[in-house]
Structure 1
Amino acid sequence: MTNIPLDYETMRLIWWLLLGVLLIGFAIMDGFDLGIGTLLPFAAKTDEERRMLVNLIGPTWEGNQVWLILGGGAIFAAWPALYAVSFSGFYLAMIAILLALILRPVGFKFRSKVENTAWRSTWDWALFIGGFVPALIFGVAVGNVLLGVPFRFDNAMRIYYDGNFFGLLTPFALLCGLVSLTMLVAHGATVIVARVPGVVGERARSFGKIAALLSVVLFALAGVWLAFGINGYVVTSVQDVAGPSNPMLKTVTTGSGVWLENYTKHSWMLIAPVLGFAGMALSFIALHCRKGTLAFLCSSAGIFGIISTAGVSLFPFLLPSSVMPNASLTVWDASSSHLTLFIMLIATVIFLPLILLYTSWVYSVMRGPITKDSVDNTPNAY
């Protein structure tokens, strides 16, 4: 341990930040795929128009989804207790997301195999489900984290989850799901406006403006609800930030408005919600002015801000427990060992830049407008 250049506290904090980076990276990179899938039956009316949108995301969705795999892998390796509770407690929700995501590659591959209107329309709606369901459920999951999840430990530190799938669908969690959905629909619309000219881009622009405006309103409503209608969690004992990973070595209480305490203690954290509001609002303005690329950058900033708001509001909690608050998982008591975090950090420093470089190269190759002619003239088009 003494040969590790970074202390345990710093390593845990770095991995909390890296987890946020991976989740935000997924929301930005694969989020527009989900948004475009949700818009597919509405922004594109004819088979030719829908083929353009399918070919807009078809060549790159797999690479974008790597961010989700990286996020899941980071949770598994860096925060094993968080992985155990969340992936078991949210099991049915995760299955719903995975089944919806499976519809995407199947839809891309089979949609154009048969020249039949009913066949293609069925796969178009399958692609809609593949975008709509994950975009909604990811937000519902964040809402449940803010509410607290009904898990507990027994005397042998075995984890028990006392909830069920329908218990996740509370009004506040569904509101968070709508924030996620509108945010990603607006994000997807910016890509369509930037790369698909003509009537499809105009329809997407109209839907994107509505979604961006709704995301601002719903985000504000969620913030007010969180401040005055949701009990937050606070550690009331002294936590050893470099101590062993044992969640039961602390005491936790709940109270109204507690999730706002980080903003009063550290005013710089207000950057997160301000960026969330400003990014989505500026995305609305850019869409109104038909500036697709600028709108994409603004919506990316808005996504960064909205997800960061959830993260900094929760800190240091990773997953609060609603039935046994003392068992809540925090950054300081739910991580892997010091050595494990260090080895993973080295791997991340090596491979994350390679992923970013490869992603940049792919998008530079795939740049340019998507039109009927470009789809017809591409041998491997979907």
Structure 2
Amino acid sequence: MIDYLTLKFIWWLLVGVLLVGFAIMDGHDMGVGTLLPFVGKTDAERRVAINTVGPHWDGNQVWFITGGGAIFAAWPLVYATAFSGFYWAMLAVLWALFFRPVGFDYRSKIANPTWRSTWDWGLFVGGFVPPLIFGVAFGNLLQGVPFHFDDTLRPYYTGSFWALLNPFALLCGVVSSAMITAHGGHYLMLRSEGEIFERTRLGALACGIVALVCFVGAGFWVQALPGHVITGGADAAALPNPLDKTVALVAGGWLHNFKNMPLLWSVPALGIAGLFMGGLMAWVRRPGLAFIASSLAMTGIIGTAGIAMFPFIMPSSSDPASGLTAWDAVSSHFTLGLMFGATVIFMPLIIFYTSWAYKVMAGKVTLDFIRANDKKAY
């Protein structure tokens, strides 16, 4: 069996892969939902947009479910602490997500303009709110979350929901929402034509610019934030104990990993280059390349946050020594090994059937298709 230390690092990487997969696969249909009320001026045009993602959106949820399940099984202390501390934020995400299945399935079943318009805005909420809140959550992680453990490792959260909505966290929320919307726009360009294509192109360009400017701005802001640095007591290979370490707050501490290994600067560079190339490819009307570029951009942006905090997963602002890391917030050696074996088997299957489904349903969704399938299409 793989040694415990290596498995801890592997699961840090795998959770990152699942988050990137969620952003790419679930992100593009959320992005289409966010753009829906603005790129479709008629009911038929909005149905075009909906039908570009309608057959796939529920299958894409596997990344969301798998990511949550992986955090629960691999990092149980993170799961318990985050879901108590971010309780109302998580509920807001779930409430927003409720609009998606009902909106996709029931929106076009009644030919009433008010009914359909209401569900169009419901799909907008379901596409816009979750990425915004996820970005706000990452912004709060970089600032530290107010929690601590007692001697029995019972977590106590001392913050409030409104405290999560601070300026830096909201800036991170804008980055997340804008990059997801741009990504969805690139996908919608790939599957549409005519006026819908042109409106989507302008929306994707605008969101890409916002994401690029805000990501660079957040990068400069991070330099001034106190980063968490382990100063002693932690044994990465030992049995997990989050209180068995000392932590110092250091100005610019979130940049230490980049300074110690300059090659890691290529990750934020990938985020910047991906956003720039995504906008450029959208400008020259190459949606396929734009979609690939925005996928790479999200990989770089999410990877930048992960590398900056490593090995921390959930730093604590009220008691830095209680901060949870990839070394001390994990499950047992046996659990990590068993999960890794399951991942090796099932991850390729997920990628295979997802690729097959997209290949089968590839092509443009046109207004003529909507008219010909008025009773069958979404």
Supply the distance in 1 between the matched residues of 2:107 and 2:154 (Cα, whole angstroms): 46
Selected match of 2:249 from 245, 250, 254: 254
CA deviations over 1:95-127 (Å, ceiling 9, x no partner) = 110111110111111211211111111110011
The percent of aligned pairs where both chains have the same amino acid is 54
Match of 2:269 in 1: 274
Selected match of 2:121 from 121, 125, 129: 125
Supply the distance in 2 between the matched residues of 1:252 and 1:226 (Cα, whole angstroms): 18
SS at match of 2:285: coil
Supply the distance in 2 between the matched residues of 1:268 and 1:339 (Cα, whole angstroms): 33
Match of 1:202 in 2: 198
Selected match of 1:293 from 288, 291, 295: 288
Residue 103 of structure 1 aligns with an amino acid whose one-letter code is F
Q: For residue 241 of structure 1, report the CA deviation from its aligned partner.
A: 1.0
Mapping 1:35-50, distance limit 5 Å? 35-50=31-46
The answer to whether the 8 A contact 2:233-2:244 is kept is no
Match of 1:188 in 2: 184
SS at match of 1:321: coil
CA deviations over 1:224-243 (Å, ceiling 9, x no partner) = 00012x11100000421110
Selected match of 2:298 from 295, 303, 322: 303
Q: For residue 63 of structure 1, report the CA deviation from its aligned partner.
A: 0.9
Supply the distance in 1 between the matched residues of 2:367 and 2:281 (Cα, whole angstroms): 25
Supply the distance in 2 between the matched residues of 1:163 and 1:34 (Cα, whole angstroms): 29
Residue 337 of structure 1 aligns with an amino acid whose one-letter code is S
CA deviations over 1:60-104 (Å, ceiling 9, x no partner) = 001111101110000000000000011111111111101111101
Selected match of 2:80 from 73, 79, 84: 84
Q: For residue 380 of structure 1, report the CA deviation from its aligned partner.
A: 3.2
Selected match of 2:100 from 104, 107, 123: 104
Residue 226 of structure 2 aligns with an amino acid whose one-letter code is N
CA deviations over 1:163-222 (Å, ceiling 9, x no partner) = 111111000000000000110111011011111001001001001111111111000000
Supply the distance in 1 between the matched residues of 2:69 and 2:36 (Cα, whole angstroms): 30
Residue 62 of structure 1 aligns with an amino acid whose one-letter code is D
Q: For residue 375 of structure 1, report the CA deviation from its aligned partner.
A: 2.6
Structure 1, unaligned stretches of length 5 or more?
A: none
Name the TM-score, length of structure 2 as normaliser: 0.98
CA deviations over 1:100-155 (Å, ceiling 9, x no partner) = 11101111112112111111111100110001101110100110111111111112
Aligned residues: 377
Name the TM-score, length of structure 1 as normaliser: 0.97
Supply the distance in 2 between the matched residues of 1:150 and 1:15 (Cα, whole angstroms): 25
Mapping 1:310-325, distance limit 5 Å? 310-325=305-320
Residue 100 of structure 1 aligns with an amino acid whose one-letter code is A
Residue 108 of structure 1 aligns with an amino acid whose one-letter code is F
Q: For residue 264 of structure 1, report the CA deviation from its aligned partner.
A: 0.6
Runs of 4+ in 1 over 6 A off after TM superposition: none
Mapping 1:217-232, distance limit 5 Å? 217-228=213-224, 230-232=225-227
Residue 333 of structure 1 aligns with an amino acid whose one-letter code is D
1:284 has 2:279 as partner: yes
Supply the distance in 2 between the matched residues of 1:156 and 1:331 (Cα, whole angstroms): 20
Q: For residue 289 of structure 1, report the CA deviation from its aligned partner.
A: 0.2
Match of 2:351 in 1: 356
The answer to whether the 8 A contact 2:278-2:290 is kept is yes
Supply the distance in 2 between the matched residues of 1:217 and 1:28 (Cα, whole angstroms): 20
Match of 2:151 in 1: 155
Match of 2:29 in 1: 33
1:241 has 2:261 as partner: no
Selected match of 1:377 from 352, 367, 372: 372
Structure 2, unaligned stretches of length 5 or more?
A: none
Supply the distance in 1 between the matched residues of 2:98 and 2:361 (Cα, whole angstroms): 24
Supply the distance in 1 between the matched residues of 2:138 and 2:347 (Cα, whole angstroms): 25
Supply the distance in 2 between the matched residues of 1:52 and 1:330 (Cα, whole angstroms): 45
Match of 1:20 in 2: 16
